[in-house]
Chain A
């Protein structure tokens, strides 16, 4: 009987290993382990065995049941895995077909640059201020040391609302507005729209953007102005950019300077873009004129400061190699999508 059982086990395992579906396995289970199965049939004949044989054969029979059961479980798992593999394989798709599009909008390139500048200056402790675009002549000119009939007014063709109200020609009135309200230490920038009565062409626009900067405190020096702006230029254009300060004139700063940066295109070698100079003018700056400080109620004998003004279109155009300023206000989707 022992032999009979061992042969049955061998047969069953062979049949299981050859099975390729769950149904077949079920048939095998019924055939051997079912109520009318072979093992059951063998066990039924156990009564005819001697008392000594009975536990031995019983143990063997149990082993056979366990082994067949385990083999069946293993085979089932295998088949399930195969079936899953087949199903997954049948689900193959063309991953190179286009994705379902979620379109995000984009900020205007000018905003992108303004945000970048705000981040750079914020990191240096500069607060960001905004102020009126329709501005009193006083703030736009007089408080900035440009009285009526000053020749400097000619260089800024001004739109007038009335004799005393203008469309601001620069963001510099924000210097005065901030100094009137806040006592030093002051560190602020003011980005914004400005206006000049220039007819629009590839390089001129009657509406454009500037960023004003102002630092006022005890002991602020021109060396601080240089250091701060160098830091800014490197943050904006990368560490390999170098800057150059040239004397210039603004009515509201003394001394005044213009800051040039190495040409974006030739990196200082000289090319048509920089007219062979290797440098490109980036911004105007200077030490706040003592008269401007005094006019805002800040004692120039105690405090000093520096100011800067950057034309933003210039930076945007250079960065993205845009050759016509009018593209910035045309709002063509084919343009806006590119940034």
Chain B
């Protein structure tokens, strides 16, 4: 919300400098983001009178002018403007002048003739036809005599560009502050200065009555609590006067014509959006405010035909719609140059209704933005009267006597008890009752004993907490002391599961993996890229109704695509060796009738995802995954061959089983998947369900006595068929050795001619120990013999000679 300081000061005599003003208003709740003075862009440009115009001897389009700049001797300037006329007062940039856009003007010589400055058009001053309707957009800006300017006057003063304009950031709970009056009241309270409201004085044709012309009916008072109207006849459409244009321009509003400008001016001043209809377009002298009917359409002021949703609140006459309430008027009732009579509308519409209408139609206007926030019904009438007053001041027409005010249920004022002790206890500051009363009064509250009457425009103030805020923001947040919370001690910090997550993360870090962060939504095509079949349950992902794009339209059910995206990025940037991990959230929806159920929350699971390439192979990622499992104190984990995960190489993928439950995957990414990502190196990945792992981890650790008796170490090499997995042999060895086996390590795999085709030799090192005596050779021999026998029986393995 941009407002000029001067306009605010119509209502209060705050006279702090801009910096102090901005700082104080920011600290009382009306944040000023920045302020500017347009005149800072324009320096050394003055009004100068053209004394004479003659043709340039060496050019067919340049003219030589002698200018009176008010500083003694006439000055020569060369100009190419088509509208140069002796006697006119025009803006002239002197030698060393600064123009908007950082343009500097220097004395120069043009085709042999000296030019000691430049005559300026409106665009060279950064202005438009809307700012200067009196000017010729293609020539020098000629200043009208009515401006009363003289030679040497600073152009910024003359055009009222020298204004401090503040840019307020108004929070959505304070629509009353989207106005000069609202902010003037805040300013007055902030600086403890008086605030004086202007009572509009309307000069109307008392012999005529609006009831002769118009009737108003609110069919849907739930959406339109108040609809007030006034009428003006003998309309003369013309540009509004300079003072009004200057103010509108400073507030960032484009001046159009006197009627439109009045509605905008009143909106800025009172915060009440206004609309003007051409009376000639209203059939049967009647305005009806009602919900739209099936299939109803309207062409809005911007010339677009819009189909209306049911429930859209409309301004209509008995035959047609003439406006979408609170959003935009209809083209059919627009003010034109031929308009003779107008109806001013000053109404209040339900915020949610306007919000829905404007969203559905896809049309947001200054008015709709204000109505959405919920406006004060009581403000409609003063604003209407102010508009009528301005009609008189501008001579834009004759106000017809009387107003129509359809206001079925008059608003009641809210009453909140004043409880100074409670406020002090709540804030934790010692604020005097006197100060509370004084600040509340300055903000427009009324106080009757210990009853606070909330002003109509403060719908946001509902209880003591709000009153506390009002008082405290004027008192100053910076004056509240700083104390620390007292009371019962609470148990803080991470819980066991959160600490467990950190253990897993540390294991990844120790293994050399870097943490990544990826977006949790992906696109359906990402699932194609990781080769998920059409019937994969992972395809049943929660869709986002309003995604930013197809590639970010579903909540991921697998962390793999996002991780591969990161791998691809690094591969493309020629990272030679990569280790990445992410505790990745996935979202598994409830399935209803074969589809994701969008009415219940999905299961959110954290998957520890690791990916690597370079300097390693399958056994590297497996070793890293094992390190994580060890850090997790997981028990009974095994890596089982897994040939059916479509994203992984079927011969190089393992399912990670823990306590008999599959908790993850580990393997080489399928070459087809890598091709889909355009990744040219083998990539290895692991995925582990962190909460499943937590549930399966050994939570209690109990000391076991350090062994007293020495261990026996035996090596065992057996030859078996190629199809036998090492894990099968290990299982048999463990079962056969029983509790005597303390440690089993595979240390060699050998294939070669001596062994035979389709055979391999696998060598293990076994550590055997008895807890209560030194194991004898006979005992260990017996164990080894038993192992060999069972390996032969169950795996067809024989001792390697």
Contacts and interface: CB of A to CB of B under 8 A. Distances in A.
Contact of A254 (B355, B466, B600): B466
Given A159-B544, A226-B480, A245-B478, A219 B487 contact: yes
A102 B427 CA distance: 55
Interface stretch (B219-227, B268-276, B434-442, B545-553): B545-553
Contacts of A122: 492-494
A289 interface: yes
Given A247-B27, A247-B469, A331-B518, A149 B585 contact: no
Interface stretch (B209-217, B286-294, B509-517): B509-517
Contact of B518 (A152, A254, A329): A329
B517 A328 contact: yes
A123 B494 CA distance: 11
Contacts of A215: 485
Contact of B174 (A127, A207, A249): A249
B484 A231 contact: yes
Contacts of A107: 505, 509, 515
B309 to A, nearest CB: 14
A148 to B, nearest CB: 7
Nearest to B471: A255
B723 interface: no
Given A105-B511, A149-B351, A332-B570, A161 B542 contact: yes
B520 interface: yes
A128 interface: yes
Interface string B154-179: 00000000000000000111100000
Interface in A214-268: 215, 217-224, 226-228, 230-231, 244-249, 251, 254-257
A193 interface: yes
Nearest to B578: A333
A40 B230 CA distance: 145
Given A105-B511, A329-B517, A134 B34 contact: no
A21 interface: no
Contacts of A134: 542, 555, 587, 601-602, 604
Interface stretch (A51-59, A63-71, A82-90, A162-170): A162-170
B548 to A, nearest CB: 6
Contacts of B429: 222-223
Contacts of A337: 514
A226 B34 CA distance: 26
Contacts of A334: 573, 575
A176 interface: no
A215 B157 CA distance: 55
B56 interface: no
A304 interface: yes
B473 interface: yes
A106 interface: yes
Contacts of A227: 481-485
Contact of A132 (B469, B543, B601): B601
Contact of B484 (A127, A151, A228): A228
A152 B578 CA distance: 44
A206 B552 contact: yes
Interface string A97-135: 000001111111011000000100111111110101111
A103 B512 contact: yes
B492 A123 contact: yes
B425 interface: yes
A134 B372 CA distance: 27
A256 to B, nearest CB: 7
A187 interface: yes
B28 interface: yes
Contacts of A275: 33-34
Contact of B373 (A106, A151, A328): A151
Given A151-B172, A159-B547, A197-B546, A246 B27 contact: yes
B177 to A, nearest CB: 11
Contacts of B601: 132, 134-136, 165
A159 B547 CA distance: 7
Interface string B410-438: 00000000000000011111000000000
Contact of B355 (A118, A149, A228, A330): A149
A336 B491 contact: no
A287 interface: yes
B531 interface: no
Nearest to A106: B514
Given A161-B542, A161-B545, A290 B463 contact: yes
B223 to A, nearest CB: 12
B495 A128 contact: yes
B566 A331 contact: yes
Contacts of B569: 330-332
Given A136-B601, A162-B598, A247 B477 contact: yes
Contact of A133 (B26, B480, B509, B604): B604
Given A249-B174, A254-B465, A289-B465, A104 B485 contact: no
Contacts of B484: 224, 227-228, 231
A93 interface: no
A203 to B, nearest CB: 16
A125 B489 contact: yes
A321 interface: no
Interface string A280-295: 0000000101100000
A304 B427 CA distance: 10
B37 interface: no
B432 to A, nearest CB: 16
A27 B517 CA distance: 77
Given A104-B510, A227-B483, A110 B517 contact: yes
Contacts of B468: 254-255, 287
B257 interface: no
A138 B429 CA distance: 34
Contact of A228 (B33, B463, B485, B544): B485
Contact of B491 (A111, A125, A133): A125
B175 to A, nearest CB: 9
Interface string B490-506: 11111100100000010
Contacts of A103: 512, 579
A226 B478 CA distance: 9
A95 interface: no
A143 to B, nearest CB: 15
A297 interface: no
B548 A199 contact: yes
A50 interface: no
Greatest chain A CB density within 10 A among B355, B485, B579 is at B485
A214 B580 CA distance: 34
A328 B552 CA distance: 17
Contacts of B355: 149, 151, 154
A128 B494 contact: yes
A185 interface: yes
A254 B466 CA distance: 6
B515 A108 contact: yes
Contacts of B516: 108, 331, 336
A211 to B, nearest CB: 14
Given A290-B463, A331-B570, A334-B573, 10 more contacts: A110-B517, A118-B494, A165-B599, A215-B485, A217-B485, A221-B428, A226-B483, A249-B173, A329-B519, A333-B570
30 contacts: A105-B513, A105-B581, A108-B516, A135-B601, A148-B352, A149-B352, A159-B545, A160-B544, A162-B598, A164-B599, A165-B598, A185-B488, A185-B490, A206-B519, A221-B426, A222-B472, A223-B428, A224-B428, A226-B483, A227-B482, A228-B485, A245-B480, A246-B477, A247-B29, A287-B468, A328-B517, A329-B517, A331-B569, A332-B570, A333-B580
Interface of A: 102-108, 110-111, 118, 121-128, 130, 132-136, 148-149, 151-152, 154-155, 159-162, 164-165, 167, 185-187, 193, 197, 199, 206-207, 215, 217-224, 226-228, 230-231, 244-249, 251, 254-257, 275, 287, 289-290, 304, 328-334, 336-337
For the complex of A and B, list the 5 residue pairs with the smallest distance between their C-beta atoms, beginning with the closest: A221-B428, A223-B428, A149-B352, A255-B469, A249-B171
